[in-house]
């Protein structure tokens, strides 16, 4: 008997078809008092009883249920001549079983030598695939162990470097930023951040720095800017793009950090987009703020408060008062979502170009 094998019949079938065909061939039937799978039944009739797969087209028979003949269809059978009675004997089968029978005949799999060779080759193939899978699992296990070892070595190295960090100028900048922006700082954590920044070419340092400088850590991003002279974008995607490609040779001179009072406006130089008569950017001093992962600026202009996105200079909200403008921004985000606003920003950049504020940044 065939057992669990399908003798290659389903090897090239698509997954859904393969499952359907194999379920049909695995279906149990009783023949001559024995229960067997349909595929074994077909194999047995072909090999032991010299049956032949046949098809009768446009087959129809009388049915008392409909009091008439059934709709014509193809009727598939395994037929043979009974030796004792010399009469035709047949077993009705399905189209799948008919195709399987023809496959066995066409590939000469009723020949015992060829059948045994196929089973051996198939068994060897399955064993090889299983061994390959075990080898892959072992390789993956070794890779993870090696990666864990490297990570532990890196963590020990980072700890040692942070404890020995002696660039007081950068450390003072970092402390001032966290003291003013957050109200507290941790010596060890700040030194770890500075070590990562100073050694960005090291793969583990780069990876850790990318994980550290996300949009939820604006103070750490500010430290990066003031010690490297490179301003990171407000969005994670653009930040990661820069961090993945930058090296210490791209760093500029450090930027002086000016402490701001809590109620002091963060006025910076931005560029608003003017579309008429010709598209161009105009320099403007405006209050900077970040929200929803977007870098924006707000200004009272011509008796109206206007909020624009910094990268495109695109106006995205306005109101007669500052609060009305902020409420309009929130309503827009709630209605369309941040992704839609980002799409509009990217479309504006593609059409009119990138704000000069970003054109000189290393990326």
What single DSSP character describes residue 79? E
Measure the N-to-C terminal CA separation of the chain; round to a whole number of Å: 67
Residue 362: band (very low, low, confident or very high) from pLDDT cuts 50, 70, 90: very low
Reply yes or no on whether the pLDDT at 82 is more than 50.
yes
Reply yes or no on whether the pLDDT at 158 is more than 90.
yes
Task: Please identify which residue in the block is written with the tokens 């499952």.
Answer: 19
Torsion of CA 310, 313, 319, 321, to 10 degrees: 50
Q: What is the pLDDT of residue 260?
A: 65
Q: What is the pLDDT of residue 3?
A: 76
User: Which letter, b or e, does each residue of 170-197 get, where b requires 16 or more Cβ atoms within 10 Å of its Cβ?
Assistant: bbebbebbbebbeeebeeeebbbbbbbb
- Please give the average per-residue pLDDT across 327-339, as a whole number: 90
Conformational region of residue 7, where left means phi above 0, alpha means psi within -120 to 50, and beta covers everything else: left
- Please give the average per-residue pLDDT across 39-47, as a whole number: 93
Q: What is the pLDDT of residue 361?
A: 55
- Please give the average per-residue pLDDT across 174-202, as a whole number: 91
Q: How many CB atoms are located within 10 Å of the residue 121 CB?
A: 11
Biggest CA-to-CA distance, the chain = 110
In the chain, where are the structural domains located? 15-110, 165-250, 267-359
Torsion of CA 63, 67, 73, 78, to 10 degrees: 10
- Please give the average per-residue pLDDT across 98-121, as a whole number: 93
With H, G, I as helix, E, B as strand and everything else as coil, classify residue 298. Answer: strand
Over residues 119-139, the pLDDT tens digits come to 898 889 889 999 999 999 999
Q: What is the pLDDT of residue 174?
A: 94
Q: What is the pLDDT of residue 4?
A: 81
Quote the strand ranges of the chain, DSSP E: 28-31, 34-37, 52-59, 62-63, 68-69, 73-81, 88-93, 267-274, 280-291, 294-301, 304-309, 315-319
Q: What is the pLDDT of residue 261?
A: 61
- Please give the average per-residue pLDDT across 174-183, as a whole number: 86
Bridge partners (DSSP) listed for residue 77: 54, 92
Q: For 80, phi and psi rounded to 5 degrees?
A: -155, 165
Over residues 260-290, the pLDDT tens digits come to 665 567 788 889 988 877 888 889 888 888 8
DSSP assignment of 152-177, as one string?
Answer: HHHHHHHHHHHHH---HHHHHHHHHH
Bridge partners (DSSP) listed for residue 49: none
Predicted TM-score (pTM) of this structure: 0.49
Q: What is the pLDDT of residue 212?
A: 95
More confident residue, 32 or 210: 210
Rounded CA-CA distance 130/138 in Å is 12
């Amino acid at each position: 008997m065939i057992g669990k094998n399908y003798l290659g019949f389903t090897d090239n079938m698509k997954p859904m078809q393969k499952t359907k065909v194999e379920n049909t061939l695995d279906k149990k039937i009783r023949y001559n008092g024995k229960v067997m799978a349909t595929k074994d039944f077909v194999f047995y009739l072909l090999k032991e009883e010299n049956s032949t797969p046949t098809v009768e087209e446009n087959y129809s028979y009388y049915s008392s249920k409909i009091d008439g003949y059934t709709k014509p269809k193809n009727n598939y059978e395994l037929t043979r001549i009974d030796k004792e009675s010399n009469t035709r004997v047949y077993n009705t089968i399905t189209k799948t079983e008919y195709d399987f029978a023809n496959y066995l005949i066409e590939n000469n799999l009723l020949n015992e030598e060829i059948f045994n060779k196929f089973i051996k080759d198939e068994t060897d193939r399955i064993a090889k695939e299983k061994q390959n899978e075990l080898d892959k699992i072992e390789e993956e296990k070794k890779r993870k162990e090696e990666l864990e070892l490297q990570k532990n070595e890196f963590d020990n190295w980072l700890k040692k470097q942070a404890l020995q960090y002696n660039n007081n100028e950068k450390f003072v900048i970092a402390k001032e930023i966290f003291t003013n922006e957050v109200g507290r700082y941790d010596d060890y954590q700040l030194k770890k951040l500075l070590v990562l920044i100073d050694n960005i070419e090291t793969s583990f340092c780069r990876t850790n720095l990318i994980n550290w400088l996300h949009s939820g850590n604006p103070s750490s991003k500010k430290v990066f800017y003031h010690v490297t002279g490179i301003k990171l974008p407000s969005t994670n995607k653009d930040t990661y793009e820069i961090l993945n490609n930058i090296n210490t040779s791209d760093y500029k001179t450090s930027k002086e950090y000016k402490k701001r009072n809590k109620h002091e406006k963060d006025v910076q130089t931005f560029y608003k987009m003017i579309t008429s008569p010709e598209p161009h950017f105009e320099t403007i001093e405006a209050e900077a703020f970040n929200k929803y992962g977007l870098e924006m600026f707000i200004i009272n202009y011509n008796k109206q408060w206007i909020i624009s996105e910094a990268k495109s200079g695109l106006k995205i909200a306005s109101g007669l008062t500052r609060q009305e403008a902020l409420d309009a921004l929130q309503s827009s985000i709630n209605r369309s979502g941040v992704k839609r606003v980002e799409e509009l920003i990217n479309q504006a950049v593609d059409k009119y170009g990138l704000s000069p504020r970003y054109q000189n940044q290393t990326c």
